[in-house]
Amino acid sequence: MSPVANDDRKTPAAQRPARRPREQPTGRPAEPLTQYVQRLTQRTRAFDRRHPLLWDLHFTGFWVMAVLIDYAGGGWRNVTHNPDAPGWLLLTLSLGLSAPLLWRRTHPAAVLLAMAPFALVNAWTGTALQAALLQLVAVYHLALRLPLRNLGWATALVLTPVAVSAARHGEEGAWSQQIGSQLTSVVVVALIGITVRSRQNHTEALEDRARRLEIERDQQAQLATAAERARIAREMHDIIGHNLSVITGLADGGRYAAGKSPERAAQALDAIGTTSRQALGELRRLLDVLRDDETAHRPAELTPQPTLTDLEQLIDGVRAAGLPVHSTVEGRADLPAGRQLTVYRVIQEALTNTLKHAGPHTTAEITLVHGGRGSVTATITDTGTITGATGKDTPADGRGLPGMRERTALYGGTLEAGPRPHPEQGWRVHLHLPEETPQ
């Protein structure tokens, strides 16, 4: 043994370099034999599906040529019981037992019935041509393509010529041997056909399942995309709509104060700048998540979603825009972040609608009641005019109320929005989120 081999045996297996697969002259790894055979089989089947008649002609022509060689070469004389059979009979039987194979795949039962008279004459006359064994090909395709109940009469049809041959030309004791041998052949061929059929059915079922899973995956992706688009639309509507309403209110207030109180006008402009930068920052963070260019691989700037602790800042901004807001909070605020965001966005949207549609000299009131185990009730009312508050002058495709209802539905809550009952004037939004269901 060489020193190199001895050293290699002493080296632990984990430290030995991994052996690279044998490479072909082109530098690519050699393809395993099984993969090569599988790929060749798939190509052959694909060609057969495209040109079935061509394969049937080749298959039938091969067997016709084989039986004609047996007839012309005299090989049939080695097993015949009637060596003096006329040539025309031999030729007729040879073609009658081989030519019908052309239709074996499309009409296997008809092929077997067409071959049966020739097989019976072959047995009765004692010629005993080996071409009679081609009936097993028809039996295979019958088991492969037709209901299995057809195997009963097919077996009887194939065994009948054997019984006739054994009765007329068989030696004593050869009856059971010939019948048993032929029956074994039929059973083996039928089992092969059933096995191939089962494998094909299993493969088709797997392919159908794969197609269904692919369709389901695409549908799930579309639903997820639609849900994400709706979520982004809600966020953008809440962010942009609210801040633009606040900016509009501040701009109107600044315009009125410009002539009388320049300091108030400057304060309004400062508030407009602050609100604009906040809206721009929130919008930029939201859009950064959607970018798919090379900058998308960089971590997006993340900030927490607003919670109820940010409610005072929201109300201060609305007050600065010219809408007096009074708020009342009852109970202890102990809500999950998702529920807090829902309540915050509903209050934000209600105040935004009041700023946009309620008209001048409007006041708003917020009542927030915390219950136990995550339940909360929020009521937002204003004293604006009913025509403005009902939103009749808003676009028909507004996202305000639908967005609030979608957020509320996520937690099984209820949302009511409409004019306040007579004789009160204004608009009322009532949100209720029930208690959390234990998981």
pLDDT digits (tens, 9 = 90+) for 120-172: 999 898 888 888 999 999 999 999 999 989 999 999 999 999 888 888 876 55
- Judged against a pLDDT cut of 80, whether residue 391 lies above it is answered with no
Helices and strands (DSSP H and E) totals, the chain = 13, 5
pLDDT at 398: 57
- Range among 77-81, 193-197, 338-342 rated most confident: 193-197
pLDDT at 9: 45
What CA–CA distance (Å, rounded) separates 10 from 374? Answer: 67
- Judged against a pLDDT cut of 50, whether residue 356 lies above it is answered with yes
Q: Domain ranges for the chain, please list them.
A: 33-170, 319-439
- Judged against a pLDDT cut of 70, whether residue 179 lies above it is answered with yes
Topology at the third CATH level for domain 319-439: Heat Shock Protein 90 (3.30.565)
Over residues 220-237, the mean pLDDT reads 77
On the CB side of 120, CA atoms within 13 Å amount to: 9
229: left (phi over 0), alpha (psi -120 to 50) or beta: alpha
More confident residue, 177 or 286: 177
Over residues 175-199, the mean pLDDT reads 89
| 380 pLDDT tier (thresholds 50, 70, 90) | very high
- Judged against a pLDDT cut of 90, whether residue 189 lies above it is answered with yes
pLDDT at 23: 45
pLDDT at 257: 64
- Judged against a pLDDT cut of 60, whether residue 338 lies above it is answered with yes
Q: How far is CA 233 from the centre of its chain?
A: 26
pTM score over 0.85: no
* 3-state secondary structure at position 93: helix
pLDDT at 6: 44
For the chain, the first-to-last Cα distance in angstroms comes to 69
Residue 349 phi, psi (nearest 5) = -65, -40
pLDDT at 121: 92
As beta bridge partners, residue 23 has 29
pLDDT at 267: 67
- Range among 96-105, 216-225, 357-366, 394-403 rated most confident: 96-105
